[in-house]
Amino acid sequence: MPTPRPRPWRRAHWRAARWHMPLSVALAVLLAVGVFAGAEWTYQRALDSLVNLGGRDTARNALQTVMRRLLDIESAQRGYLLTGRAAYLQPYQAARTDLGNAIGRLHEHYRSDPELARLVDTLEEKSLQKVSEAAETISLYDAGSHAAWQGLVLTDIGREKMDAVRRVADVLLATEERRIAGERAAIYRTLEMGRLGVHGLALLSLLAYIFFLRNNVALQASQVAHAAQLRAERDAFEQQVRQRTEELALLNLGLQEMREGERGGLARALHDDLGALLTTAKLDLTRLRHALSAPSADVSARLQHLSATLDQGIETKRRLMEGLMPSALQNLGLHAALEQRADELHQRTGVAVELDLQPLELDASTRQALFAVAQGALSNVERHAGAGRVVLRLSGEDGAVALSVADNGRGFAERGGSTSALGLRNLRHRIESLGGTFTVHSAPGDGTHVEVRLPGRARPTEPTALPEDPPA
């Protein structure tokens, strides 16, 4: 199965989508800076206009104070001249003080404007002339020169001075009114520009948000497509792995069956050929003993040694046959073979073996696989575990057969590379090649528990039992 390759356009789209997020963040930062800058500019412009407007208002109030205080001086003058009461002089003195302060504020306000500063000088001059005229009439009244102060009043000099002050004040007031109107217009323009700026930035923010959403959707789509592509590649690889695993399992199963066939053939060859030769030799030796009526001691010793050697050969042949193809498994079934193997373990090591074996009808390959697992687990107990007790169970449930071997030995690390662990790993491959499960629970000091589950298999025709060797 060919390995799927990522499409170039998807890779390009993915790389392009990766830059959308930094670009969106940069745009958001620029918009935020724009909002801050616009708000600060609007604030400063409005603040400057308000400060200037406050100054204009101060100048206008000062001009109005000048006019009111001159009127107060004129009223106090007339009241004093008409009544001669000194109470009218108190407002007169207070008005003169306020008048000086107001003119001082005007000088301070218009010091940077030479043209208007000259008008303030003129206003001050005319105001002082008016104050001087009032002071002169009061002085003449206090001196008793009634004809003189009356003549001075009748000359209309005071009205002329007051009109001159009013004209200068009107010019300054008109100038301040124009400037105040200009500052107000500037404030309105600033507010309008700020409003338009906020609207524009809000619109840009909305567009940027829409752009971000679109890019985010595109990025998510790219991620989904990339994830789907990775899943497809992963599924393809997993399919290849499953296919290769199945092929290897079938190959392993075939090799195992071939190995079992070769072992059975070798066992039959040992029984048929070597067994026949040894049996014939044994019979010939018996005839030879009967043919010799009175053999010498040396001949008797040699015949006895030859008989013992033949017996050892027959026993070796039997042991080899049991190792290649256990006769109990072939002739009596799995139940008897497991009992025999448990007895052998107990006789050789003294380990107590508890059996819980349920009679089952199993096919040959299943019997051989289960016996191999039991044989391997018991061999590990005998060689490595140092156990004092072993529990061997065989049961059938829901169409499956289960075999478990548990000991109370020293155990081992499951990820270790010991001989017992490697042997159990080989047994695992054999069971899994038959479609079963192989589980090992072990830890140092906690013993070992091996459990196997295999699906039920059809019981084949029992093989013909091998004939027993003739007695020695």
Q: Which of 207, 223, 239 is the last residue of a domain?
A: 223
Are both 216 and 351 inside the same structural domain?
no
Domain CATH code at residue 115? 1.20.120.1730
Q: Which of 164, 199, 223 is the last residue of a domain?
A: 223
Is residue 111 one of the residues assigned to a domain?
yes
Confidence band of 442 (pLDDT split at 50, 70, 90): confident
Task: State if pTM tops 0.85.
Answer: no
Confidence band of 306 (pLDDT split at 50, 70, 90): confident
458: left (phi over 0), alpha (psi -120 to 50) or beta: beta
For residue 326, pLDDT over 80 is answered with: no
Is residue 363 one of the residues assigned to a domain?
yes
Domain CATH code at residue 359? 3.30.565.10
Residues 6 or more apart whose CB falls under 8 angstroms from that of 20 comprise: 215, 216, 218, 219
- Which tokens hold the place of 246? 């199945």
Residue 55: burial class (beta carbons within 10 Å; 0-12, 13-18, 19+): middle
CA distance 201 to 42: 14
Q: What is the pLDDT of residues 362-415, one digit of tens each?
A: 777 787 788 888 888 888 887 777 777 888 888 887 778 888 888 887 777 665
| Domains in the chain, number | 2
Q: Are 110 and 116 in contact (CB under 8 A)?
A: yes
Q: Which domain holds residue 351?
A: 332-459
Mean pLDDT value across residues 232-252: 83
Confidence band of 208 (pLDDT split at 50, 70, 90): confident
Would you say the C-alpha torsion 168, 171, 176, 177 has a positive or negative sign? positive
CA-wise closest residue to 381 among 355, 404, 341, 409: 409
CA distance 166 to 174: 12
Is residue 110 one of the residues assigned to a domain?
yes
CA-wise closest residue to 371 among 421, 327, 317: 327
Mean pLDDT value across residues 179-192: 79
Is residue 322 one of the residues assigned to a domain?
no
Q: Which of 205, 223, 241 is the last residue of a domain?
A: 223
Are both 70 and 209 inside the same structural domain?
yes
For residue 14, pLDDT over 60 is answered with: no
Is residue 250 one of the residues assigned to a domain?
no
CA distance 309 to 307: 5
DSSP state string for 175-237 = HHHHHHHHHHHHHHHHHHHHHHHHHHHHHHHHHHHHHHHHHHHHHHHHHHHHHHHHHHHHHHH
Residues 6 or more apart whose CB falls under 8 angstroms from that of 85 comprise: 79
Are both 217 and 340 inside the same structural domain?
no
Q: Are 58 and 118 in contact (CB under 8 A)?
A: no
The amino acid occupying position 379 is S
